[in-house]
Amino acid sequence: MRPLDRPEDVGPLEALLAEYLQLVADQFDPPRFDPVAALADTMDHLAQTLPPKGRTFGAFEGDAILGTAMVRMVGPGRAELKRFYVRPETRGRGVGAALLGAAIRQAQTLGATVLLLDTVDSLTAARRLYEGFGFRERGAYDEADSLRTPRMLDRIVFYERSF
């Protein structure tokens, strides 16, 4: 695992995020958001998840990217986990736990006392992982991107972990 901060990381990261956003979009029938537009928005705002405001991590096997986790500061003492994803064929090997642990440590390094996240209710394996790392359900928080898509809110679960 390593930070994704090299110019050559952008292509593999963008491909992985496209896969992730399509998986999230597929959780909704009928569709409730456009994964192509969400990818463009994520890439346009990538600087929020790079130093000094945040950090983006990638897990690798050789040159193949297996998963990612992004952390960004959203306010004093408040960080948010974004675009946490592990490829399906890689799940069950500890990759998600390693990425989540790195994201938590990064949030603390950035000065956060709380790490926030939101997820889709049907992503039960991810929810179990978050809860196993001490995240607890909470109400919506103002910085959540999902609040910009109200038709998704009935399926979004919000979490936080305090340090």
Q: Tell me the two tokens of residue 64.
A: 């193949």
Range of the domain at 16: 2-162
How distant, in Å, are the alpha carbons of 68, 102, 142, 144, 146 from that of 86? 7, 14, 26, 21, 20
pLDDT digits (tens, 9 = 90+) for 70-121: 999 999 999 999 999 999 999 999 999 999 999 999 999 999 999 999 999 9
Could you count the other beta carbons within 10 Å of the beta carbon of residue 94? 12
pLDDT digits (tens, 9 = 90+) for 30-46: 888 899 999 999 999 99
CA 84 to chain centre: 3
CATH number for the domain harbouring residue 103: 3.40.630.30
pTM, rounded to two decimals = 0.94
Structural domain tally of the chain?
Answer: 1
